[in-house]
Each structure stands twice: as C-alpha cells, then as structure tokens.
Amino acid sequence: MTITALAGGVGGSKLLVGLQNALVPGELTAVVNTADDATMYGVHVSPDVDIVTYWLCGLADTERGWGLRDDTFNVVAGFARLGQEVWFSLGDADLATCLFRTQRMADGVSLSAVTDEVRRALGVETRIMPMSDDAVRTRVVTEDGRTLEFQEYFVKEHQEPAVKEVRFAGIGDAKPAPGVIEAIRDADRVILCPSNPVVSLGPILMLSGVRDALREHNDVIAVSPIVRGRAVKGPADKMLHVLGAEVSASGVAGLYRDFCTTFVVDETDIEEAALIEQLGMKTVALDTIMRDLPASDRLARSLLEL
C-alpha cells in the first residue's frame, strides 16, 4: 500500500517512523513543511525536514525532539564568545547538514534535490519531499503589534506572545516541489500527521494544487493533534483561533472537511465522534498518543488497517 503523509516536525515524525516500520521500502513518501525554514549563523536551516530525516534514520535526539543524538554545540558556543545572539541552538553535526544544504543550493541545486541527497546519505528509505523549492516564510503577528519571524516566535520568545495573525510570505507564488502533487494523487492513501494545523500543515495545504489533489482523492485520513481540547505539545492550541477553529478535535476536523474522508480522534475524545460524523467524515477513535516507538508502531498499523 503506497502512503503519502503530510507532516511538520516532531508530531509528524513520530507517526512517520511507525509508518516506515510497517511498510515495505518505497511505499512511504513524506511531504514536509518548509515555512519555518530560516537563515541562522549564515546557513539554511530547514527544521521540519531535518527533524523528519533524523527520526527516520534513527539518529534523532528523540528526548529533545530536534537535532541529532549526542551532538555537541561548539560552534554555537563559539558564536556566543564572539558576542553574537545564540538563542537558536544548533548542534555541530546538525550544522554540517545545514552547511551542506547551503553549499549545494549556492551551486544551484534545489532544496528538494539536496533533501534527497541527505536522506540517501543517511540511509533513509522513505522519500522525503520538502513541500516547495520556493521560499515560504511564516511570520507571526502578535497581539502586542509585532511581526516576528517564526523562529523568533517559536524559539526566542518560547511561543509566549498572544498570536493575532499568521502570514506566509511567498505562499502565493510558491509551487509545490516536483513530485508533490503526483505523490498525493498516486498514493493509495494520504495521511495528515498530527502536526500543527496552522503553521505546519497549513502552508502545505495552501500551495497551489495541493488542496485540489486532496479533494479529488478518495482516501484521506487525518489524525487529530488536539486531544482533550489541548495540543499534545507545542502552540497549536494557542493558534487555532487564527483559522477560526475551536480548540478541539472537531474544530480541527472542520478545517479538513472538504477533503478528509476519515478523521482519527484520540480514544479519550470519543464523545466528539458524532459531531465529526455530521461534518461528513467517517470518525475513528484510537490511542493517538505516541509516547514511545511501540505506540507509534501501533498507531501506524491501525491507520493502515482502516
């Protein structure tokens, strides 16, 4: 069974690892958000793409969520010694990935091609596609009137400022990366991972042609990132209002009602099932909390059996 999964960072990676374990090599494709990419310390960081790649090759620091296990932080410490701001942590080996990406892109290679080179070098069998080769950049407008780059909001300011609006600079002109639309169209099943609906899946869905391809697909499953009215982690619950959605599984389901055929809620949210069915989606309740790898494997297998 071929699966194309749309994903952000950690929430997406946990499910992708389970799916990769359950499928035959070549059957899984991940389409990954790049709207939180940024230039840091002179290099192109692509946080979600790298998180997904590291989780899928087994080298991720799964406790921290991002970066490589046992990495060191000498370069960032060196920057600090030079009096530079170092609120964005980046491990030394992780920086090597970003340096490689930056160098290759300076040579004219596309983001999607470099991403493929990295995943092959690290032995990942799942195809990993950045959502676009064009720059899309998330900006968060805060209630106190500031416009922050996404990493400033997320890392420097610890997602504390109240969010008034989220903008995606460049989204209007950005094209899906080569193969993204085909990967959605040709997959037997499309899965929306439990990633942030506003800043991770939101920009993927806004790329021209993506939503139409999903609407035309007859097997699209989404897993709720909201459980018992809260985000499992991260600021999704503090952002959903910008899309006019209630902070609940059914609130998220409403955002996907035009293309989603099956919506998966956590088993603790089973009472929301009837409401979601009314939106025209089949609703399934499962244990969606991926607290460890066996839990990811169980959820992935359940999704494949639906």
234 binds ligand GDP (CB under 6 A): yes
Among 28, 38, 136, 231, binds ligand GDP (CB under 6 A): 231
Residue 67 binding ligand GDP, by CB under 6 A: no
Residue 72, token pair as written in the block:
């060191």
Length of the chain as a residue count:
306
**Residue 236 in contact with ligand GDP, rule: CB under 6 A:** yes
User: Is 251 one of the binding residues for ligand GDP (CB under 6 A)?
Assistant: no
* Given 31, 171, 290, 303, the residue binding ligand GDP (CB under 6 A): 290
250 scored as a contact of ligand GDP (CB under 6 A) = no
Interaction of residue 17 with ligand GDP, rule CB under 6 A:
no
Q: Which amino acid is at 68?
A: L
Which CB, 97 or 195, lies closer to ligand GDP?
195
Residue 286: strand pairing partners: 266
Alpha-carbon gap, residue 25 to 127, rounded angstroms = 9
3-state secondary structure 36-83: CCEEECCEEECHHHHHHHHHHHCCECCCCCCCECCCCCHHHHHHHHCC
Residue 230: CB atoms within 10 A of its CB come to 12
- Residue 115 contacts ligand GDP per CB under 6 A: no
Shortest CB 80 distance to ligand GDP, Å: 26
Cβ closest to ligand GDP, residue 114 vs residue 290: 290
d(CA 272, CA 248): 9
| Sites of contact with ligand GDP (CB under 6 A) | 8-12, 14, 48, 194-196, 200, 223-225, 227, 231-234, 236, 266, 288-290
